[in-house]
Structure formats: structure tokens, C-alpha cells
Amino acid sequence: MQFIDRTRVIVKAGDGGHGKSAFRREKFIPKGGPSGGDGGRGGDIIFVVDQNMNTLLDFRYHRKFKAENGENGDIKNQYGKNAPACYVKVPAGTIVKDEETGEVLADLTEIGQEAVICKGGRGGRGNAKFANAANRAPTFAEFGEPGEARNLILELKLLADVGLVGYPSVGKSSLVASVSAARPEIAEYHFTTITPVLGVVKTDYEKSFVMADIPGLIEGAADGVGLGHDFLRHVERTKLILHIVDASGIEGRDPVDDYYKINAELKKYSEKIARRTQILVANKIDLPEAQENLPRLKELAEKEGLKFFAISAATREGVKELISYVGEWLDNYVEEPEQEEEVKVYDETAEDPDKITITRNDAGDFIVHGKAIEKLVIMTNFNNDEAVRRFQYIWRIKGIDEKLKERGIKEGQTVHIGEMEFEYRE
């Protein structure tokens, strides 16, 4: 199966239903009055972690998700039906980012975890809601509020207990294949593994852990060279790193130099990854050339304060001892509190809706920004005189005229609010 770990999707929450403008005219009901019902709320876009998914492959063929709109209100104070939420299934380990701002909207790591990414629009109020002592028969109703829309970047970071790092062809795939049922492609050329492979390793009858065979690093990976960030992204969630080096040096590289170069790339990419516990694993000790480098590698482990194992993934020499130690280490693992990347959870009150700011464009027009006033423009029926008068009243009480005068507006100049355009009059 093809492994996809980064993709782009477009999501749009449902619009709210329009409110209804209606009056009761039934026989025997004197002064029936306004009876227009409210529109229903549009459906939210909700991302949910599905245990049956382990890749973002589905999003290669299905990139657009749109929730249903709320139903319109009706006569006799009948409210429109709220639209159901649109659930988007993702694998565990998915990070949802806003493409425009780069902001992390959700970090989904647990099965069944949900995150509201786009809120559906509120339903417009029917004319019955606007009746009061001063105006007992309002003729206007609100349009439904548009649902939120976003362009998103989805990134998948593997949820593995143990991650293998090291140059290509040091034997990472061979190790995973020797201790689990995973069967990654193994060959004598660089980047045989171009997608991460997960293997479940059993330490005894009841215990096991997940090991990730992640594509090999090369110098410059933190800057995107080779498989670059596509590799490094998956190391972030691991609890323990097995740093594999080729003790034989048959590729023409020095294993001690390899260790320092790989760690330099890890540190350059993320200080958090660089601080993660590592075990130095010297592979291919079945080859005669390895005996020359083993003393140097043991000295390196002592100098860096690392646990050291010498193994041969091909003959399984030393592998059992390594896996036993890793299982014991994980059993005693206590996660240290770390400062995680700030994740935004949708908060309807996070931004002050009544805040008004005024800017000017290149043409000299005035642009009014404000969540509440922009929503008011969208939901107002400007073909209804009463609705226009209500809009003008709210405009005045929010002090927008005064703010525009402070910015130097003159008679006849253009004012923009959202997609609407007005000509300013005293």
C-alpha cells in the first residue's frame, strides 16, 4: 500500500439556513402577527481519528469536504433543521494546519479523538424574533451566516515507541525484519526504504512495542536534502531512538563520523529530537571489517553516555539482548513534561467580535474590518427597507461613522465591508 504522509485538503462548513418573513392569517386568530421561523445551523467540519487508517492516501483522491447547509425557516414559527456535521476520518498522528497562516489547528493522536476545524454558520432569525413593543410587525428576516472555509495541510507523524535513525544501508530494515512481521524491501543500494515501515516487536508473551523503520538520513537532511523533512517528521513522536551505524564501514564511511553527522542533522531540525534518549547500535558485526571499529564505537558510547549494543541483523547475533533491553526501558519510561507546539482549539470567543478596525486600500477606499459588522452585512437583506434601517441603527451605535471621520472620510467616498460596497453620506 502506498504511504502518503502529507497532503492538502479544502474544507467548507455548512451555511446557516435563512430566516423566514411571514405573518399568521388564520381565521379566529386575531392580530396573528409575525410568524417567520429561524433557519437551522450549518454542519460543522469535524476531524476524527479512525483506527482503521494508517496513511493519508485517501486524501489523494478526495480533497474537498463540504458540510450540508441548514434548512430555511418556515411559516408558523417553524424552525429549519440543523445540518449534521461532516466527519473527516484521519489516522492517529495527524496534524492539521491552516495552509495560509501555518497555524496548527489540531494534533490528533488518540483513537476516537475529535476536533472541530470549521464551524457551521448560524441560522438566520425569522421576523418573529424581531417583534417588540416599538415594532410589532417587522417584515424582515436574516439571511443565514456562511460556514467557515479553510485550505488545510495534513501531516502524518508516526506513532512509534522506537525509531531507527542512521545513514542508508546501515541495516535498519534488516533489523525490523528480523524482530517483527514487517517485511520492508531490503537491497544493497541507498534509499531502498523510501516510506516508513512499522513493525510490532514482542518482548514476551504479553508485551510488545512498535518500532519504526524510517527512511535513511544523509548530511543536509535538515535543509531538505535527500528525503529530508519527510524523514525527520516521523522521528518527533518516538520515545526512544536506536542510532544504527555500520560497524564494518564497507560503504566507505567512518561509523564514528556517521554518528556525529546524523546527530548534527537531528539537532539542526529540532532541539527536542536531539535531546531524546538514544541507544548506539553497531550493526554488521558478522563482517571481518567490523572488528576494527568496535573498540572506537564502544569508546564513543562511553564518551557520549550512551548504552551500546553490537549486533548482526543478518545472523541475529546480539539482537535478543537489544530487544530485551529496549522492552525493559519502555516499561520504565516516564514521559517528561515538555513544552509542546501550541495547538489551537476552536474558540468562538477567542477574537473580540465587536472590535472595529479601519484601513485604506491602494485606491483610497475605506475598508471596515470587524467580525460582528462583517457578519451583519452578510446576514442583512438590503432589499428590505426595514432591514436596511436596522443595519443603519447598528452602524451608528457601534460608532463606525465617528471612526471613519477620524480617518478623514469625505462625502461620496467608498466604504467596503466584506464583499459589500457603500457610498458614504453624512
Task: For the full predicted model, state whether its pTM sits above 0.75.
Answer: no
Instruction: Mark whether 243 and 174 lie in a shared domain.
Output: yes
What is the pLDDT at residue 279?
92
What is the pLDDT at residue 197?
64
Residue with cell 478596525: 357
For residue 220, the tally of other CB atoms under 10 A from its CB is: 13
Annotated binding site for GTP: 166-173, 191-195, 213-216, 283-286, 312-314
Q: Is residue 18 part of a domain?
A: yes
What is the pLDDT at residue 194?
43
* Domain CATH for 266: 3.40.50.300
| Angle (CA) 372 374 379, round 5° | 90
Q: How many residues does the chain have?
A: 426
Q: Is residue 347 part of a domain?
A: no
Lowest mean pLDDT among 205-219, 222-236, 327-341: 222-236
Annotated binding site: 166-173, 191-195, 213-216, 283-286, 312-314
Instruction: Mark whether 169 and 150 lie in a shared domain.
Output: no
* Domain CATH for 54: 2.70.210.12
Last residue of a domain, which of 299, 332, 365?
Answer: 332
Q: Is residue 352 part of a domain?
A: no
* Domain CATH for 367: 3.30.300.350
Residue with cell 534488516: 174
Instruction: Mark whether 226 and 271 lie in a shared domain.
Output: yes
Residue 6, CA atoms < 13 Å, CB-side half-sphere: 10
Domain range for 407 is 357-424
Instruction: Mark whether 145 and 176 lie in a shared domain.
Output: no
What is the pLDDT at residue 2?
47
Phi, psi of 238 (to 5 degrees): -75, 150
What is the pLDDT at residue 151?
95
Three cell numbers, residue 343: 495547538
Q: Is residue 346 part of a domain?
A: no
Cα–Cα dist 378/246, whole Å? 65
Q: Is residue 62 part of a domain?
A: yes
Cβ contact 211:233 at 8 Å:
no
Three cell numbers, residue 72: 430555511
User: What's the number of domains the chain is made of?
Assistant: 3
Instruction: Mark whether 327 and 374 lie in a shared domain.
Output: no
* Residues in CB range of 149: below 8 A, 6 or more apart: 10, 11, 12, 13, 118
Given a cut of 80, whether residue 114 has pLDDT beyond it is: yes
Chain centroid, CA 310 distance in Å: 40
Cα–Cα dist 214/413, whole Å? 61
DSSP H helices in 275-370: 290-304, 319-331
Last residue of a domain, which of 139, 156, 173?
Answer: 156
Cα–Cα dist 402/417, whole Å? 16
Three cell numbers, residue 308: 551500546
What is the pLDDT at residue 234?
65
**How confident is the model over 368-417, as pLDDT tens digits?**
888 888 888 999 999 999 999 998 888 888 888 888 888 888 888 898 98
Instruction: Mark whether 313 and 389 lie in a shared domain.
Output: no
Instruction: Mark whether 148 and 17 lie in a shared domain.
Output: yes
Cα–Cα dist 401/240, whole Å? 61
Annotated binding site for Mg(2+): 173, 193
Q: Is residue 351 part of a domain?
A: no
What is the pLDDT at residue 187?
40
Task: Please tell me the chain's helix, strand, coil percentages from 3-state DSSP, rounded to the nearest 5.
Answer: 25, 25, 55
Last residue of a domain, which of 127, 156, 185?
Answer: 156
Q: Where does the pLDDT of residue 1 fall: very low under 50, low under 70, confident under 90, or very high at 90 and above?
A: very low
Instruction: Mark whether 106 and 37 lie in a shared domain.
Output: yes
Instruction: Mark whether 46 and 122 lie in a shared domain.
Output: yes
Instruction: Mark whether 139 and 178 lie in a shared domain.
Output: no
Chain centroid, CA 245 distance in Å: 34
Overall average pLDDT of the 106-113 stretch: 90
What is the pLDDT at residue 152?
95
Q: What is the mean pLDDT of the chain?
A: 82
Lowest mean pLDDT among 88-102, 154-168, 254-268, 297-311: 154-168
Given a cut of 60, whether residue 185 has pLDDT beyond it is: no
What is the pLDDT at residue 145?
94
User: At 171, is the secondary structure helix, strand, or coil?
Assistant: coil
**How confident is the model over 52-99, as pLDDT tens digits?**
887 788 888 889 999 999 999 999 999 999 999 999 999 888 889 999
Cβ contact 24:33 at 8 Å:
yes
Instruction: Mark whether 177 and 269 lie in a shared domain.
Output: yes
Cα–Cα dist 92/82, whole Å? 29
More confident residue, 28 or 17: 17
**How confident is the model over 215-271, as pLDDT tens digits?**
655 444 334 434 444 556 667 778 888 998 888 888 778 889 988 888 887 888 777
Instruction: Mark whether 259 and 291 lie in a shared domain.
Output: yes
What is the pLDDT at residue 157?
77
Strand partners, 306: none
Q: Is residue 251 part of a domain?
A: yes
Q: Is residue 243 part of a domain?
A: yes
